[in-house]
Structure 1
Amino acid sequence: MVEQHGKTLVPQIRFAGFTDPWEQRKLGEFGSVAMCKRIYKEQTSEQGDVPFFKIGTFGANPDAFISNELFEDFKCIYPYPTPGTLLISAAGSIGRVVEYQGEKAYFQDSNIVWLEHDHRLNDAFLKPLYSRIEWGLEGSTIKRLYNKDLLSAEVTVPGSREQKGIGQFFAKLDNLITLHQRKYDKLCVLKKSMLDKMFPKGGSLYPEIRFAGFTDPWEQRKLGELFEESDERASDREILSVSVANGIYPASESDRETNPGASLANYKIVHFGDVVYNSMRMWQGAVDASRYDGIVSPAYVVARPNSEVYARFFARLLRQPMLLKQYQQVSQGNSKDTQVLKFDDFASIGISMPASENEQCQIGAFFDRLDSLITLHQRKYCGVASWMLGVALVRLGSESDGAFGEMKHVLR
């Protein structure tokens, strides 16, 4: 809870050594709004020396540029941000904040602005402070943040020393999020590349990359030689779901409410290692090899592998783009929304696979490990980001390292 005394606020939790109440102020008391000098369309080009960021490209890749001569002239004569300045979007994604790092760049006037403030505000503290402001917006159809709206925004601020500590704290959290985001992105790129290179393409029977010791060509087989449809029924087991993004998972772990209807009597039994696919979404990749025992909706097809098949290898093979196209071609229905891939049509599809089950195992285990790493870093950066929102700006740890202790708990 936040205890209010007149126009002051006392955070519920804060760093050790700080007891003074925070002050309620308006941003306009700390400075004024600044923006770059207007650039006209005829002064820009599709190629040039200096990127020109508009609302549509703010924080992304620019699609317009200005000359270095114009940049240097305007930068010297008119307002221009210094490294560390927090640029605010006044239109489009209103309130979005991007920190200017000091690169050569120019920004659209009036739509990308910043607070030219005095020494009473710490730049690092401003970033989490901005995230808590509910900006007053104007306009009947197109909303925007006018200068007076920014300057009249009410904020609560502590003294300069406490601002500095809070700013450093959130900067460290931002760095952690960025670190795990980068690792996650790199692993996703690696996975995409390896999926492309570890499975043969264009009718070849030899993958571009293989594990050491495997040289034999892959075999051409029909899926019907490797799988048989299972139609066992039960109602007393855990309900499983199959999705394009997550494969097979317990329905209880989904954010969506599970509503199997009045009876589970027609649900199909799934054993560990069974391949299960959504007959209406197979062409999108809604297929996986199960790592659970349970039951699935009658709308799903359960394909039980024979002894030649290592299921985790097929969890990847069956999602290959060339197979997704074949699923769509042999599915029955007049449109994508009504197409159904029946097991007989699934069984007629030809695939290439290693004759060695050991090679299948190594490929399957490799991608399982890669998926585990991807999930780990995704959970870490999402966990820190969610925790930051929960902590907000007035819950900062009763000791200097208290909040970091809680953060480490989130990262385990």
Structure 2
Amino acid sequence: MKERLKAPELRFPGFTDDWEERKLGELSNIVGGGTPSTSNPEYWDGDIDWYAPAEIGEQSYVSKSKKTITELGLKKSSARILPVGTVLFTSRAGIGNTAILAKEATTNQGFQSIVPGQNKLDSYFIFSRTNELKRYGEVTGAGSTFVEVSGKQMSKMSIMVPELSEQQKIGSFFKQLDDTIALHQRKLDLLKEQKTGYLQKMFPKNGAKVPELRFAGFADDWEERKLESFTLLITKQTGFDYSATIKPALVNKSEGNVYPFIQNKNFSGFKINMNTDFYIPIEVANKFPRITLDQPSLLVTISGNIGNVGLYNSDEKAFVGGAVGICKLNNLIEGEFILYELESDFGQRQFKRSTKSSSHANITVEMIKNIDILIPKNELEQKKIGSFFKQLDDTIALHQRKLDLLKEQKKGFLQKMFV
């Protein structure tokens, strides 16, 4: 049997002692919860917070529950007052969600909460090991028909721990990292909300001919046109047997002389994700020039998640799959303007209207051609709107990359700073 490591790979300066293997029950009290009778109103709506598992998992600290109980409800149930610093741990139907109590509270019976022993266990240190606690709970509780881990089972969990001062240093480090991640997440959420608001206000709605919010210097009504009038070609894969012709030709990685293969699943949040695992040899793609991208094109998902759009504006050629419609754009419209208009409520309503007229869960080339578009008469207004949303999307993407990097860094630290 492989001997457990006695110290983590990465440590703070000044700490050299081996970590010790202990049982979780030696370092903390594991406390269950309870529910007062719901038929007695005297037990409810009191001053004592009472948590249910569904409230746990989104934030590190919790301080206000959705429901509360009274002192009488506490006495008449198996619920127990848990002190500040308790790590709430959901023990059934979603085992392993955790949060730290910022204010004393109680829970229902769906918890086996960890009350750290004084001078034995740091709250944020054990909270940072949520993944280990979750794995243990899931494996241990998997034996019964109703998947649940008991307090007795949680107490038996083996865990490697250092002295308290090192625990506190590690806990403080991860708290600061989690706070930074939460800050970036809030910034990202705010940017996405702002974009949603601008999409609603910068394109006409409810039969209006002008949007609610415009750049200075523009006052003319927008004009209604069909999408077809802004394209050189609207098409999709057709005229061949996909399974016999295309599927066997796909390769798993780029080996030269290939084009990326764009499918329905490459669309996410009105963006085309070009990180594809599939490529098609150029000689096969060249047999189907109508569905090989070689100029700015608006791509539309036409089955499954209908109406997701993306702008393909690369110098590199690509090949398009069967669940995607292609609108090769002319120079009468700005590609980014039309992209964001179709992403707006106005644009999405056009797709919904098209699908309602069809008995199938897809849209045809004819339906795409007849989608109504409202367009500013002044090309500069198109450019300003497209550029505004492109810049906003670039900012969102930048914050998303920062957030993803922080999460990756945390994952790496979790692997290196615990035994």
What secondary structure does 1:220 align onto? strand
Unaligned runs of 5+ in 2: 238-248, 250-256
CA RMSD of aligned residues (A): 3.4
Partners of 2:54 and 2:16 lie apart in 1 by 44
Q: What residue is the counterpart of 1:119 in the other structure?
A: 119
Find the partner of 1:143 among 147, 170, 178: 147
**C-alpha displacement at 1:231, in angstroms?**
7.2
1:317 correspondence with 2:341: yes
* 1:37-64 C-alpha deviation (Å, 9 max, x unpaired): 542222469x945664223344579996
Quick one: which amino acid aligns to residue 128 of structure 1? S
Partners of 1:69 and 1:15 lie apart in 2 by 45
**C-alpha displacement at 1:317, in angstroms?**
1.0
Asked if structure 1 preserves the Cα contact closer than 8 Å seen for 2:202 and 2:212, the reply is yes
1:296 correspondence with 2:300: no
* 1:262-303 C-alpha deviation (Å, 9 max, x unpaired): 93232533245322223335x722322223132222634332
Find the partner of 2:173 among 166, 169, 181: 169
Find the partner of 2:391 among 358, 369, 372: 369
Partners of 1:190 and 1:206 lie apart in 2 by 20
**C-alpha displacement at 1:167, in angstroms?**
0.8
1:239 correspondence with 2:243: no
**C-alpha displacement at 1:90, in angstroms?**
1.1
Asked if structure 1 preserves the Cα contact closer than 8 Å seen for 2:86 and 2:113, the reply is no
Which deviates the most, 59-68 or 13-22? 59-68
For residues 37-76 of structure 1, the aligned pairs below 5 Å read 38-43=35-40, 48=45, 52-59=50-57, 65-66=67-68, 70=72
What secondary structure does 1:239 align onto? strand
What secondary structure does 1:301 align onto? strand
Q: What residue is the counterpart of 1:207 in the other structure?
A: 211
What is the percentage of aligned positions where both structures have the same residue? Answer: 25
1:395 correspondence with 2:399: no
> Aligned pair in 2 of structure 1 residues 230, 224: CA closer, same or farther (>3 Å)?
closer
Q: What residue is the counterpart of 2:84 in the other structure?
A: 83
Asked if structure 1 preserves the Cα contact closer than 8 Å seen for 2:259 and 2:279, the reply is no
Partners of 1:246 and 1:145 lie apart in 2 by 38
Q: What residue is the counterpart of 2:12 in the other structure?
A: 15
What secondary structure does 1:263 align onto? helix
Q: What residue is the counterpart of 1:97 in the other structure?
A: 98
**C-alpha displacement at 1:88, in angstroms?**
0.7
* 1:151-189 C-alpha deviation (Å, 9 max, x unpaired): 000000011221111111111110111011111111111
> Aligned pair in 2 of structure 1 residues 247, 40: CA closer, same or farther (>3 Å)?
same
Q: What residue is the counterpart of 1:185 in the other structure?
A: 189
Q: What residue is the counterpart of 2:246 in the other structure?
A: none
> Aligned pair in 2 of structure 1 residues 157, 305: CA closer, same or farther (>3 Å)?
same
Asked if structure 2 preserves the Cα contact closer than 8 Å seen for 1:238 and 1:295, the reply is yes
Which deviates the most, 325-334 or 84-93? 325-334
Find the partner of 2:308 among 277, 286, 289: 286
> Aligned pair in 2 of structure 1 residues 41, 205: CA closer, same or farther (>3 Å)?
same
Asked if structure 2 preserves the Cα contact closer than 8 Å seen for 1:284 and 1:324, the reply is no
Partners of 1:82 and 1:55 lie apart in 2 by 18
What secondary structure does 2:184 align onto? helix
> Aligned pair in 2 of structure 1 residues 330, 31: CA closer, same or farther (>3 Å)?
closer
Partners of 2:297 and 2:16 lie apart in 1 by 61
Q: What residue is the counterpart of 2:241 in the other structure?
A: none
Asked if structure 2 preserves the Cα contact closer than 8 Å seen for 1:238 and 1:250, the reply is no
1:258 correspondence with 2:278: yes
Quick one: which amino acid aligns to residue 333 of structure 2? V
**C-alpha displacement at 1:308, in angstroms?**
2.4
> Aligned pair in 2 of structure 1 residues 307, 93: CA closer, same or farther (>3 Å)?
same
What secondary structure does 1:11 align onto? coil
1:335 correspondence with 2:341: no
What secondary structure does 1:114 align onto? strand
Partners of 1:278 and 1:115 lie apart in 2 by 51
Q: What residue is the counterpart of 2:300 in the other structure?
A: 277
What secondary structure does 1:9 align onto? coil
User: Could you tell me the TM-score, scaled by structure 2's length?
Assistant: 0.79
Asked if structure 1 preserves the Cα contact closer than 8 Å seen for 2:79 and 2:108, the reply is no
Partners of 2:69 and 2:9 lie apart in 1 by 51
Find the partner of 1:30 among 27, 30, 33: 27
> Aligned pair in 2 of structure 1 residues 345, 31: CA closer, same or farther (>3 Å)?
closer
Q: What residue is the counterpart of 1:132 in the other structure?
A: 132
**C-alpha displacement at 1:127, in angstroms?**
1.2
Q: What residue is the counterpart of 2:240 in the other structure?
A: none
Asked if structure 2 preserves the Cα contact closer than 8 Å seen for 1:273 and 1:289, the reply is yes
* 1:67-119 C-alpha deviation (Å, 9 max, x unpaired): 55657x669x974222332111111221211111227x542135352334231
* 1:303-336 C-alpha deviation (Å, 9 max, x unpaired): 2323321110111112334443433544586421
